[in-house]
Structure 1
């Protein structure tokens, strides 16, 4: 019998961080679920196929989001604290089951209405143009060069979410670094992640207390005031909700902006088609979400009962990570799934989840990308790669740490 190496050996290595998709493909082909050890020592089951992931997103009977109630190892204090685990802490919708989740989602939906998101469009365009103008106005050695991650993609979403929540603009840089620390899986990140999580929530608690005194028309004040038949958010729920909105409004959008620019730089013929037919931009953003979405693995869910996927049975009380990055390249669902096709027109991806836990920040991320990505290419003529992109180690996000580019008349190299 031919010996086949265990593909799990390649998970979370440097090569995997740079390009995880060959490993995901091998895992998908070899079985529906795989017992894995995440960086930091957390044991979980990684589910890799589209239909299995979609089924689990929709099954709120067999699976729980509440780690304290459903994760046996967590209850028995056998789970090391890592960035992944920290994300599941708190008092938010992310770790709530029905009926509590329904209640929280209803309250935030009343305050975070579509018209509030759409009202941000003019400000998003102005902020995008200002940030890009700062890059084009450079002189000296950095003229015509930039890191689009740190000097654009990481800045715009935090400006937008701070405006939305009424957070002072000068706090944006600190909040961005705190969010990245919580999401990180760098070696030795557990203490940093936990401290950042605690500082983040302390800041938001102070912000809520300040807004109660001053009032305003921002989303924080709307969440303070929102009621449903007399029900309202508690102080802890309100702080946790703001934390979710900040994370959803920043991390996913940063990743989506960077991945969109990179995908189109590597597919210039499709970029040319979009420039000729601008109505195609929304579809192109959806294809980026499928092909190189902002989230790799939707963490966490926990089995309430034993669950069988194909020939694999997962016991009750186990942690589940849904690999949406793998699912969205499953050829059983998407023909020619490994290819980027901005005109694909199929919006059945799982990049923002599915079912009742669908990402509340998805409309904002889509809006920012639809506005900002075309402006990047319009404002930075001759945009091209100026070195190899670098990804941030994370089991949750697909996040560019650096996207070096050149633009204008300089002779920067084209790579990739």
Structure 2
């Protein structure tokens, strides 16, 4: 980093840390560099958007990603049981079946000259279906979950204007109302699913909803985005699936940055930072290890192993399809403060010379 461990970016409003070793140092010291701002809105919410959220009791108290207090450990332990290595390994056949079926459908559409969006056709739904299976959740409207997730990511990590904020806030409020209903149902009839475990832990309704809100977005949408990016990198060429996943994590992760805030005046190398200085950590594309894409320390992503498995399986199942297609446009991007991936990836078969194909 040319000897500068942190630089202030006026446009972003953050102290930016791109050096992987320094980012690692920050993540390993959650008391000095607190996670309090991890899920705050990057763009301050308008009064109208806040009213929509307030109407459903929307709140994100410290639970997982934004928690450096004593309650973090028991909450994390309760959630981690759903992501044990054995449980993750056991869902590979499900992930493979889901991807195989979707790839077959997409291949048939391509064979008759259709344009296929690989994001929606293959990458979108398997991570959500696998996650809800792992968490013991049934009767989940997956298309609605996907829409709620994208709305929430843009609302909290994007730069929407007031009109767009209001639109996004309605999606976030619908999601939160659904979480409230599931929490209430878990109190009335406890079960061994995510909500039942959190209720049994003694969390408040707001804490249960906050865990669900973060986990049900981060646990599947970021994997969809990782798979979408990997598909983009794999178009038209043979690849080693596991190696490509690691390369994408290292250089083009779906979560390229994450936030922290200083608890008191402190220093990063020779740079003095004031108290409450917001920090944006560069996790990928700066020469660091692939594993840094999932963070490190007490807030390391619980789904790291799952994301790697699902991305590898998706690439393995789609490899023949990916070799035989070409994009018809430069893909538009999800380009948020901490999330980046192709929004869509429209392709045709390599033998199809028309970009005006059906679909």
Answer whether TM exceeds 0.5 for this pair. yes
Cα separation, partners in 2 of 1:117 and 1:233, compared to 1, 3 Å: farther
Q: Contact conserved, 1:144 with 1:410, CA < 8 A, in 2?
A: no
Length, aligned pairs only: 340
3-state SS, counterpart of residue 330 of structure 2:
coil
Match of 1:198 in 2: 173
Query: Is the aligned partner of 1:285 residue 2:256?
Result: no
3-state SS, counterpart of residue 35 of structure 1:
strand
Partner residue of 1:329 out of 279, 282, 286 = 286
**In structure 1, C-alpha distance between the alignment counterparts of 2:3 and 2:182, rounded to whole Å:** 49
More deviation, 109-118/240-249:
109-118
Match of 2:327 in 1: 385
Match of 2:303 in 1: 361
**In structure 1, C-alpha distance between the alignment counterparts of 2:106 and 2:248, rounded to whole Å:** 25
Partner residue of 2:23 out of 46, 49, 53 = 53
Q: Contact conserved, 1:380 with 1:408, CA < 8 A, in 2?
A: no
> How far does the alpha carbon of each residue in 1:195-236 deviate from its partner, in whole angstroms, 9 at most, with x for none?
4333322211212333455565544444445xxxxx543333
3-state SS, counterpart of residue 109 of structure 2:
coil
Match of 2:276 in 1: 317
> How far does the alpha carbon of each residue in 1:79-138 deviate from its partner, in whole angstroms, 9 at most, with x for none?
8238xx999944421111132222221222234433222222111111111222221222
Query: Is the aligned partner of 1:81 residue 2:41?
Result: no
| Deviation for aligned residue 1:240 | 1.7
Cα separation, partners in 2 of 1:258 and 1:58, compared to 1, 3 Å: same
Partner residue of 2:116 out of 116, 128, 146 = 146
Query: Is the aligned partner of 1:113 residue 2:84?
Result: yes
Cα separation, partners in 2 of 1:89 and 1:241, compared to 1, 3 Å: closer
> How far does the alpha carbon of each residue in 1:235-291 deviate from its partner, in whole angstroms, 9 at most, with x for none?
33222222222122122101110111112237x3xx35x3xxxxxx33331221011
1:16-415 equivalent positions in 2, closer than 5 A: 28-29=1-2, 31-37=4-10, 43-67=13-37, 80-81=44-45, 89-138=60-109, 143-168=113-138, 171-184=141-154, 185-188=158-161, 189-213=164-188, 218-225=193-200, 232-265=202-235, 268=237, 271-272=238-239, 274=240, 281-299=241-259, 301-325=260-284, 328-330=285-287, 347=289, 349-379=291-321, 382-407=324-349, 409-411=351-353
> Please, what TM-score do these two structures have when normalized by structure 1?
0.72
**In structure 1, C-alpha distance between the alignment counterparts of 2:191 and 2:343, rounded to whole Å:** 35
More deviation, 252-261/85-94:
85-94
| Deviation for aligned residue 1:148 | 1.2
**In structure 2, C-alpha distance between the alignment counterparts of 1:359 and 1:89, rounded to whole Å:** 18
3-state SS, counterpart of residue 94 of structure 1:
coil
Q: Contact conserved, 2:82 with 2:134, CA < 8 A, in 1?
A: no
**In structure 2, C-alpha distance between the alignment counterparts of 1:293 and 1:127, rounded to whole Å:** 23
Aligned CA-pair RMSD: 3.2
More deviation, 53-62/200-209:
200-209
Structure 1 unmatched ranges of 5 or more: 1-27, 69-73, 226-230, 275-280, 334-346
Match of 1:17 in 2: none
**In structure 1, C-alpha distance between the alignment counterparts of 2:145 and 2:80, rounded to whole Å:** 24
Cα separation, partners in 2 of 1:79 and 1:259, compared to 1, 3 Å: closer
**In structure 2, C-alpha distance between the alignment counterparts of 1:128 and 1:37, rounded to whole Å:** 43
Q: Contact conserved, 1:66 with 1:95, CA < 8 A, in 2?
A: yes
> Please, what TM-score do these two structures have when normalized by structure 2?
0.82
**In structure 2, C-alpha distance between the alignment counterparts of 1:265 and 1:398, rounded to whole Å:** 18
Cα separation, partners in 2 of 1:44 and 1:81, compared to 1, 3 Å: farther
3-state SS, counterpart of residue 360 of structure 1:
coil
Q: Contact conserved, 2:31 with 2:68, CA < 8 A, in 1?
A: no
